[in-house]
C-alpha cells in the first residue's frame, strides 16, 4: 500500500527517447483526449504515491477449491465458444457482476484450463472501480504499478490509453519494425500475477486485438533433451529497464527497481503442467550462463513462442468486453494496428487489474519455502 517515501519525477530530457511500449503513455494525456473519452474517470493519472516492496504472502488459488469440475454455478445457461481448440474461450449469457463466490472459484478453474476467457457486454464495465477491484480481490492480492498511469484513489488500476499521439508513433516506428511486445505481466515481482483482468472501455471498430500464446503447450513441443536442460535453469527478472525508461521520459516513479530470481520453467499449481516463465523485456540473465549463451536461449524460446500460431489465440475485442487470463501459462502482446496516417492511433482505452499469485513453483524444489504471511 502507499507510503510516505519520496516519489521521484525527473526533469524532462531535451531529447525524448522512443516509447518503451507504444501502448502505454508515460506522461499525461492532452485536453482533447480528456474531452473525447467515454470514461474520463479512467484516464491515466500520475499521483505522487510511493509503494514499498512486496513482501511474501500465503496464496490460496481459488481454483483449487472447486469440487464439481463441470462448473454448474458459472456455466449454467452460458454459451461457450472456443477461440482455438486448446486455448481461449468466449463466454456469453454470463454477467461477472452476478457471480457467487463459488462461481468465481469455478471461473478461476476455467481460466486455468482455457488460459484466456473473454466475456462480451459486461455491466461490470460500468459498475465503477470499486466493484471491479472487489471482484478481482477474490483471485488474489492487488499489484501497484511502479511507473505507468493509474487512477486517483485506485492505484491498483493500470491504465492503457491511446488517442492520437501521431508524432510519438511515427518516432517509434522509425526505429522499430513492429509494435508487438511479448511479455508476462509484472514477472519481476517475488510473487507474480496469477490471474489478470483486462476491461475494454473504448476501442476501434476494427483492430487492437490481443494475442496470447500458451507457454505450457509451447514447452511440450520441445524435445526431451532441451526440456531437461531448461527445467533446472533460474533467471533474473528485473523492472530496472522499465524504470530507467520512465526516468528518461520524465515520468513518475513510484517504486524502487525489483530484481527477482525465478525458475525458467514453473509448475502450474492447478493444472500441474510445466510452463515457460518467459519475458522478452524483463529477463536480464540466466544463472550459470554467459551473456551470449543467455541471449541464445532467450532468443530461441521467444521465437518459438511468437511463431507458434498452433498454440496461440487472438482475442478480438467487442464493446464492454472483459478478458481474464492466466499469467502463469500465457505470454501476450497487444496489436497496435489501429493507426491513421493523418491523426495517429484511434482511441483505445483499457484498464488492467492484477491478482498476484504464488511464488513460481520450480520443477526441482531445492530451496526451502520462505515464511509466508496471509494477504488481505
Cell 490509453 -> residue: 161
User: Got the DSSP string for 273-327?
Assistant: -EEE---TTTEEEETTS-HHHHHHHHHHHHHHHHH-GGGEEEEPP-TT-EEEEET
For the chain, list residues with pLDDT below 50.
Answer: 10, 26-27, 368-376
CATH number of 32-41+58-356: 3.60.130.10
Q: Against a cut of 0.85, is the pTM above it? A: yes
Q: Tell me how far apart the alpha carbons of residues 332 and 65 are, in angstroms, rounded to a whole number.
A: 27
| C-alpha count within 13 angstroms, C-beta hemisphere, residue 107 | 28
Q: Spell out the residues 6+ positions from residue 85 whose beta carbon is closer than 8 angstroms to its own.
A: none
Q: Tell me how far apart the alpha carbons of residues 87 and 323 are, in angstroms, rounded to a whole number.
A: 13
Q: Tell me how far apart the alpha carbons of residues 52 and 147 are, in angstroms, rounded to a whole number.
A: 13
Q: How far is CA 321 from the centre of its chain?
A: 16
Which pLDDT does position 374 carry in this prediction? 44
Q: How far is CA 174 from the centre of its chain?
A: 26
Which pLDDT does position 158 carry in this prediction? 93
Residue-wise pLDDT for 336-348, tens only, equals 887 776 656 677 8
Domain ranges within the chain, ordered by starting residue:
32-41+58-356
Amino acid at each position: 500500500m502507499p507510503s510516505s517515501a519520496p516519489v521521484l519525477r525527473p526533469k524532462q530530457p531535451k531529447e525524448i527517447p522512443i516509447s518503451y511500449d507504444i501502448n502505454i503513455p508515460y506522461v499525461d494525456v492532452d485536453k482533447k483526449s480528456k474531452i473525447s473519452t467515454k470514461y474520463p474517470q479512467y484516464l491515466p493519472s500520475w499521483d505522487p504515491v510511493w509503494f514499498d516492496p512486496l513482501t511474501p504472502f500465503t496464496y490460496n488459488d481459488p481454483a483449487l477449491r472447486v469440487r464439481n469440475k463441470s462448473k454448474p454455478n458459472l456455466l449454467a445457461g452460458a454459451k461457450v465458444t472456443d477461440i482455438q481448440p486448446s486455448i481461449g474461450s468466449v463466454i456469453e449469457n454470463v454477467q461477472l457482476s452476478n457471480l457467487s463466490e463459488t462461481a468465481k472459484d469455478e471461473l478461476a478453474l476455467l481460466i486455468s484450463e482455457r488460459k484466456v476467457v473473454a466475456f462480451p457486454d459486461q455491466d461490470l464495465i460500468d459498475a465503477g472501480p470499486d466493484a471491479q477491484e472487489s471482484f478481482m480481490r477474490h483471485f488474489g492480492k492487488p499489484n501497484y504499478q511502479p511507473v505507468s498511469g493509474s487512477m486517483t484513489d485506485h492505484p491498483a488500476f493500470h491504465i492503457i490509453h491511446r488517442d492520437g499521439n501521431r508524432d510519438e508513433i511515427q518516432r517509434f516506428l522509425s526505429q522499430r519494425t513492429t509494435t508487438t511486445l511479448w511479455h508476462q505481466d509484472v514477472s519481476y515481482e517475488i510473487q507474480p500475477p496469477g490471474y489478470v483482468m483486462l476491461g475494454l472501455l473504448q476501442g476501434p471498430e476494427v483492430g487492437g486485438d490481443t494475442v496470447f500464446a500458451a507457454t505450457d503447450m509451447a514447452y511440450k513441443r520441445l524435445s526431451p533433451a532441451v526440456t531437461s536442460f531448461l527445467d533446472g535453469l533460474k533467471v533474473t527478472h528485473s523492472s530496472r529497464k522499465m524504470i530507467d525508461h520512465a526516468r528518461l521520459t520524465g515520468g513518475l516513479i513510484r517504486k524502487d527497481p525489483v530484481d527477482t530470481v525465478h525458475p525458467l520453467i514453473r509448475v502450474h499449481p492447478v493444472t500441474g503442467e510445466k510452463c515457460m516463465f518467459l519475458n522478452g523485456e524483463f529477463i536480464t540473465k540466466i544463472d550459470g550462463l554467459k551473456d551470449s549463451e543467455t541471449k541464445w536461449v532467450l532468443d530461441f524460446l521467444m521465437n518459438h513462442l511468437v511463431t507458434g500460431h498452433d498454440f496461440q489465440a487472438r482475442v478480438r475485442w467487442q464493446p464492454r468486453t472483459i478478458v481474464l487470463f492466466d499469467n502463469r501459462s500465457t505470454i501476450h502482446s497487444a496489436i497496435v494496428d489501429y493507426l491513421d496516417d493523418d491523426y495517429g492511433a484511434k482511441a483505445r482505452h483499457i484498464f488492467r487489474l492484477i491478482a498476484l499469485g504464488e511464488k513460481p513453483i520450480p520443477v526441482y524444489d531445492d530451496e526451502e519455502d520462505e515464511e509466508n504471511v496471509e494477504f488481505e
